[in-house]
């Protein structure tokens, strides 16, 4: 890849700043100073340094975002703010995308990465990874609803969902619940409650498998995952 792209990707500054570094003679490819931004380098097999410090190459980036309500889960949109707009421009350089979809009014855990293989794994119905949501529901959520979810409910288009685990935290005029689903149909949680004549007033994804939203992250904040967390994500298994 081109040295200017590599350095911009790795956070050495904007294209302009990177050009300046090159011009200064700060950048070396196996001990040879390179000044031309178009020079092709192999960051895996060559020793690329800036002021003597080795440039490590991370082809993939992984971010955990606490999605706020009001932004859409897309890479671009002409009207609405997207989840990618919440990332620092430098973090957008490697063209990450959101894994799965949360509705505009849904909050909570969202993975943003450019690792297509991991995205595919996490979304694959075969993997059966449970996604857990906290929700506030109008009215009393009952044992009958818990049983119906356990059986699978019929959505408005006739599709019968896979079994879902519904845990009632408190049930009153407004109920609080956790629900875990293993599929990702459009508006699935809202449509499942609609199937039992109930309305979801607030929805927040709190975990995917045993991977939980970091409670240090305020709405709209995100952070990069460390290597251990990425390893963990890659080995997330469905609950047996």
d(CA 167, CA 179): 6
189's enclosing H/E stretch is helix 188-195
Closer Cβ to ligand URA, 116 or 184, answer by number: 184
Closest residue by Cα to residue 133 from 161, 104, 167, 160: 167
Min CB(195)–ligand URA separation in Å: 12
Residue 190 interacting with ligand URA (CB under 6 A): yes
Residue 103 interacting with ligand URA (CB under 6 A): yes
Closer Cβ to ligand URA, 27 or 110, answer by number: 110
The residue from 77, 80, 88, 103 that is catalytic is: 103
> Three-state DSSP class for 132?
strand
Candidates 39-47, 88-96, 140-148, 183-191; binding stretch for ligand URA (CB under 6 A): 183-191
Q: How far are the Cα atoms of 15, 17, 30, 43, 89 from residue 20, in angstroms, in the given order?
A: 9, 5, 20, 20, 19
Min CB(240)–ligand URA separation in Å: 23
Residue 165 interacting with ligand URA (CB under 6 A): no
Long-range contacts formed by 31-38: CB under 8 A, 24+ apart: 34/3, 36/3, 37/2, 37/3, 37/4, 38/2, 38/3, 38/4
- Structure tokens belonging to residue 154: 């019929």
Whether 214 is a known active-site residue: answer no
Closer Cβ to ligand URA, 100 or 139, answer by number: 100
> Which residue from 122, 189, 195, 208 is in contact with ligand URA, where contact means CB under 6 A?
189
Min CB(140)–ligand URA separation in Å: 20
Closer Cβ to ligand URA, 7 or 102, answer by number: 102
> Which residue from 122, 188, 209, 222 is in contact with ligand URA, where contact means CB under 6 A?
188
DSSP state of 173: S
**For residue 77, what are the contacts with CB-CB under 8 A and spacing of at least 6?**
none
Closer Cβ to ligand URA, 26 or 189, answer by number: 189
Residues making contact with ligand URA (CB under 6 A): 102-103, 106, 187-190, 203
Catalytic residue IDs:
103
């Amino acid at each position: 890849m081109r040295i200017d792209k590599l350095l911009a990707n790795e956070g050495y500054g904007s294209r302009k700043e990177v050009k300046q570094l090159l011009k200064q003679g700060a950048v070396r490819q196996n001990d040879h100073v390179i000044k031309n931004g178009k020079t092709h380098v192999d960051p895996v097999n060559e020793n690329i340094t800036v002021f003597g410090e080795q440039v490590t190459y991370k082809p993939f980036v992984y971010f955990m975002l606490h999605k706020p309500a009001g932004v859409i889960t897309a890479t671009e949109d002409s009207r609405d703010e997207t989840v990618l707009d919440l990332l620092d421009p430098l973090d957008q350089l490697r063209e990450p995308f959101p894994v799965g979809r949360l509705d505009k009014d849904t909050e909570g855990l969202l993975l943003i990465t450019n690792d297509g293989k991991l995205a595919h794994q996490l979304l694959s119905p075969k993997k059966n990874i449970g996604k857990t949501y906290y929700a506030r529901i109008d009215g009393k959520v009952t044992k009958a609803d818990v049983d119906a979810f356990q059986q699978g409910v019929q959505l408005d288009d006739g599709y019968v969902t896979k079994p879902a685990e519904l845990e009632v935290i408190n049930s009153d005029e407004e109920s609080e619940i956790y629900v875990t689903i293993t599929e990702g149909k459009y508006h699935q949680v809202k449509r499942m409650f609609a199937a039992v004549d109930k309305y979801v007033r607030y929805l927040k994804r709190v975990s995917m498998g045993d991977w939980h939203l970091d409670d240090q992250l305020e709405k709209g904040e995100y952070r990069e995952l460390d290597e251990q967390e990425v390893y963990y994500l890659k080995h997330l298994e469905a609950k047996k």
